[in-house]
Amino acid sequence: MKKESSPLWLEYKPLNTAFAGRAAIRCPSRVDRQGAAVTELITALKIMLPAAELTFGADSASLIFEADIADFLDPEEYMISADERGASVIGGSESGLLYGIFAYLREIRLAGSFVRMNRRVRPALELRMLDHWDNADGSVERGYSGESFFFEDGKLVVNERTEMYARLLASCGINSAVINNVNVRGEAVRLICEENIPQLARLSALLHRWGIALYLSIDFSAPVSVGGMRTADPLDPAVGYWWSNKARELWKAAPDLGGFLVKADSEGQPGPYAYGRDHADGANMLARAVKPYGGRIIWRAFVYNCTQDWRDTRTDRACAGFRTFAPLDGHFDANVILQVKNGPMDFQVREPVHPLFGAMKHTALAAEFQLAQEYTGQQLHVCCLLPMLREILLWNTCTDIQPGRVIDRICAAAAVSNTGDSFCWTGSELAGANLYGFGRLTFEPQLTAEDIIDEWITLTFGRDEKVREVLSEILLSSHKAYEDYTAPLGLGWLCKPATHYGPDPWGYEFDRWGTYNRADRDGVGIDRAKTGFTAMYNEPLRELYSDPEKCPDELLLFFCRVRYDHLLHSGKTVIQHIYDSHFEGCERAEEFARLWDSLEGRLPAEVFDNGRRRFKEQVRCAREWRDVINAFFHRLSGFSDEQGRKLY
Ligand code: GCW
């Protein structure tokens, strides 16, 4: 069934000017008049200037919009010069031009009128990618926004919503999309098979028109599962031959395909280990198959032992990615990108930055983030991830290569998408800021989270001052609030197993996933200098993280094991911090609900009601977190609260 969808931040409205004359679009023949860039400009101008007469190339026009392509710019780079009489937008290719047009339209919408501007912008990262965890049956793994809009009953869907999706992505600068789950199951295994190729080709062409390359998650054992072979051994020439033929078939039909994403030897997915080969063998075999077409292999570094014995205190899951991939640095082909999750565990609300970013010197890297709020309230709680994303991108890895920030060490950023077939795409309207902001930030990381949020609010909800004030206050303090009532001092995994929603501090303690807090009556946390993890960082980080006296408070319980009366840099004890942060975080959640209520009548009724329901649930759940976690630590430690509050 086809569902309606909102245009989100792309809802154009008439500008403040009462312009009724002639407005002309001028573009030389190297610009495609039917292309997305010119089409978008026309669509927008028609709505923004309802009384104008729109023409192509007329001399007597009083407003002139020039669109051009120039070789001296990088393909995705653009240049804008504009004033009250129109604009000249030049891109390095159709894509650059498209980004330039979107940037220009954004500025005039934000100003409400024609603006003077001069700008030249080039995206900071080559690939700005969304990873969908959509399954062929239409469900979405860790999806909190409804069902998939790519798949229905095993079939790939291409319709108006797909077009709207492509416009939304392009407008915030995203240029690649993986449409299916990295856990490739069911009918998705056959996505690369003959019967699905015509539809893949249609989708690829549609996305390409908006500057977006289509990527597919593949089953590493496809030569066996769909090819009928007896092996998927990457060093068996017949396997390489099978993949080369498959690539030829796919790229022949869909020449703009970007490549494959692979989750191998992880959480039950097949991989090269079954044949005694390593991850470079696996990735390079695929890389050679797609190379003739400019294709890439995005290979995930999320590899660890998920059948650990909780009694084994020597094995530390945090070390796994580094131990597997650091020795392979320099072994990967040039068209392989190693995709590393932002932290060493798994998208917790607070983790240190993954040490691989500071260790891999001869490997192309992608940073993987998760916009789907699996561990951050599942879009029922508001949790704006942009300040965290920005902090990670600009974090200094302290490698000897300069510059050494994460953003300098990677060529790509990927985000697990938070979209689904709900009307507002992201289940909660406020979660739209994460989607928009991910694109904007990976294009222009010098923008602040405040800038991006303000821009997103105005484009989405208009310029009501009160709405702007309230929403930016909620969004900007939401991550801290969530962290406060769920994950004190970097201690993750206090959530319920399987669903990852709500508190259960014993839940993961005796399980097989390598996710322990090791809390007892004397103290809490894991000594990760002992497990070898802190040694994976460059100095001075190694020393900083190994020493409980120096370790930053917010990561203390990730890196160190300390007593409950250990004194933090803040001057509080660990136990008092746990109590205080849980009370404060929960009060913040209650405050968010009140702030939201103050917007009644200022937002569309459905938006307001949807938000009110979600804040109600956030408050209920935050109270549960506060009381369960405080009771847990109170009962274990025996410490009471300095302020005498109820701990249960
Ligand atoms: O966070 C875990 C999720 C799994 C996911 C896995 C991964 C797609 O709980 O649902 O599988 O990470 O990133 O591969």
* Contacts for 195 with CB less than 8 Å, ≥ 6 apart: none
Q: 495 and 351 share a domain?
A: no
Is any atom of ligand 1 closer than 6 Å to the C-beta of 133? Answer: yes
113 and 138 assigned to the same domain: no
Residue 142 Cβ < 6 Å to ligand 1: yes
Q: Count other Cβ atoms within 10 Å, centred on residue 30.
A: 11
Give the pLDDT band (50/70/90) at residue 17.
confident
CA separation (Å) from 343 to 58, 240, 389, 417, 418? Answer: 55, 33, 11, 17, 19
pLDDT computed for residue 16 by the predictor: 85
Ligand 1: which residue has its CA nearest to atom 14? 182
Averaged pLDDT for residues 194-214: 98
The answer to whether the CB of 556 falls within 8 A of the CB of 525 is: yes
Same domain for 183 and 249: yes
Let me know whether 111 and 131 are in one domain.
no
Q: Which residues of 55-76 are buried (b: 16+ CB within 10 A; e: fewer)?
A: eeeeeebebbbbbbbeeebeeb
Q: Which residues are catalytic, by number?
A: 267, 346, 374
Lowest mean pLDDT among 19-23, 90-94, 418-422, 610-614: 19-23
Band of the pLDDT at 57, cuts 50, 70, 90? confident
pLDDT at 325 over 70: yes
At a CB cut-off of 8 Å and minimum separation 6, what does 170 contact?
36, 98, 99, 102, 210, 211, 212
Is residue 589 pLDDT above 60, yes or no? yes
pLDDT tens for residues 502-513? 999 999 999 999
Residue 217 inside a domain? The answer is yes
Single residue among 92, 121, 150 that ends a domain in this structure: 121
Q: Please answer whether residues 335 and 455 qualify as being in contact, where contact means their C-beta atoms are separated by less than 8 angstroms.
A: no
In a domain? residue 116: yes
Identify whether residues 165 and 112 lie together within a single domain: no
Phi first, then psi, for residue 83 (nearest 5°) are -150, -160
pLDDT at residue 59 in the model: 74
From 220, 263, 346, the mutation candidate for ligand 1 (largest count of ligand atoms within 8 A of CB) is: 346
Mean pLDDT of 166-190: 97
Residue 346 alpha carbon, nearest atom of ligand 1: 1
Looking at the chain, the whole-number percentage of residues with pLDDT higher than 70 is 100
Whole-angstrom distance, CA of residue 603 vs CA of residue 461: 7
CA of 339 to the centre of ligand 1 (A): 14
Distance from the CA of 346 to the center of ligand 1, in angstroms? 8
Taking Cα atoms as reference points, which of 511, 509, 501, 506 lies closest to residue 624? 501
302 Cβ inside 6 Å of ligand 1: yes
Q: What counts of helices (H) and strands (E) characterise the chain?
A: 17, 18
| Mutation pick for ligand 1 pocket among 135, 140, 142 (CB with most ligand atoms within 8 Å) | 142
- Looking at ligand 1, which atom is closest to the CA of residue 181? 8
Ligand 1 pocket member 346 (CB < 6 A)? yes
346, 234: one domain: yes
Instruction: Tell how far the Cα of 127 is from the centroid of ligand 1, in angstroms.
Output: 22
Q: What is the pLDDT of residue 2?
A: 57
Residue bearing the CA closest to ligand 1, atom 2: 346
Q: How far apart are CA 257 and CA 167, in angstroms?
A: 18
- Measured by CA distance, the residue closest to atom 1 of ligand 1 is 346
CATH number of the structural domain spanning residue 153: 3.20.20.80
For the CA of 500, the nearest atom of ligand 1: 9
Q: 438 and 548 share a domain?
A: no
141 Cα: distance to centroid of ligand 1 (angstroms) = 8
Residue 303 lies in a domain: no
- Calculate the average pLDDT of the chain: 97
CB contact at 8 A, 436 and 167: no
- Indicate whether 256 belongs to any domain: yes
Q: Specify if 75 maps to a domain.
A: yes
Residue 233 shares a structural domain with residue 348: yes
For the cut 60, the answer to whether the pLDDT of residue 1 exceeds it is no
Q: State whether 377 and 519 are in the same domain.
A: no
**251 lies in the same domain as 236:** yes
> Is pLDDT of 42 > 60?
yes
Average pLDDT in the 126-131 region?
98
334 within a domain of the structure (yes/no): no
Q: Is the pLDDT of residue 339 over 80?
A: yes
Task: Please indicate, yes or no, if residue 222 is contained in any of the structural domains.
Answer: yes
Domain check: are 108 and 131 in the same one? Answer: no
Model confidence band, residue 19 (pLDDT cutoffs 50, 70, 90): confident
pLDDT band of 158, cuts 50, 70, 90: very high
Q: Is the CB of 634 under 6 A from ligand 1?
A: no
CB 426 within 8 A of CB 610: no
Question: What's the number of domains the chain is made of?
Answer: 3
Residue 113 CA to residue 235 CA, distance in Å, equals 61
| Residues 410 and 533 both lie in one domain | no
- Cα of 267 vs centre of ligand 1, distance in Å, is 8
| 167 touches ligand 1 (CB under 6 Å) | no
Distance in angstroms (rounded) separating the CA atoms of residues 605 and 220? 47
The CATH number of residue 557's host domain is 3.90.1330.10
Give residue-wise pLDDT tens across range 260-279.
999 999 999 999 999 999 99
Residues with Cβ < 8 Å from 112, sequence gap 6 or more?
Answer: 15, 16, 463
Query: What predicted TM-score, i.e. pTM, was given to this entire model?
Result: 0.98
Going from the Cα of 181 to the center of ligand 1, the distance in angstroms, rounded, reads 9
Q: What is residue 18's predicted lDDT score, i.e. its pLDDT?
A: 80
Q: Which of 141, 148, 370 to mutate to test the pocket of ligand 1 (most atoms within 8 A of CB)?
A: 141
In a mutational test of the pocket of ligand 1, which residue from 140, 374, 416, 508 has the highest number of ligand atoms less than 8 Å from its CB? 374
Q: In CATH, what number is assigned to the domain containing residue 41?
A: 3.30.379.10
* Protein residue with least CA distance to atom 11, ligand 1: 183
Please give the residue range of the domain that contains residue 376: 127-290+341-448
The answer for residues whose C-beta is within 8 angstroms of residue 442's C-beta and 6 or more apart is: 123, 124, 125, 128, 173, 174, 393, 413
**pLDDT bucket at 384, cuts 50 / 70 / 90:** very high
Mean pLDDT of 361-388: 98
Among the three residues 68, 87, 121, which one is the final residue of a domain in this structure? 121
pLDDT in tens, 526-582: 999 999 999 999 999 999 999 999 999 999 999 999 999 999 999 999 999 999 999
Residues 6 or more apart whose Cβ sits within 8 Å of residue 142 = 133, 370, 372, 374, 416
Tell me if 454 is assigned to some domain.
no
Could you say which DSSP state residue 257 is in?
-
Render pLDDT for 593-640 as a digit per residue (tens, 0 to 9).
999 999 999 999 999 999 999 999 999 999 999 999 999 999 999 999
Q: Ligand 1 centre and the CA of 185: distance in Å?
A: 14
Give the residue from 428, 448, 468 where a domain finishes.
448
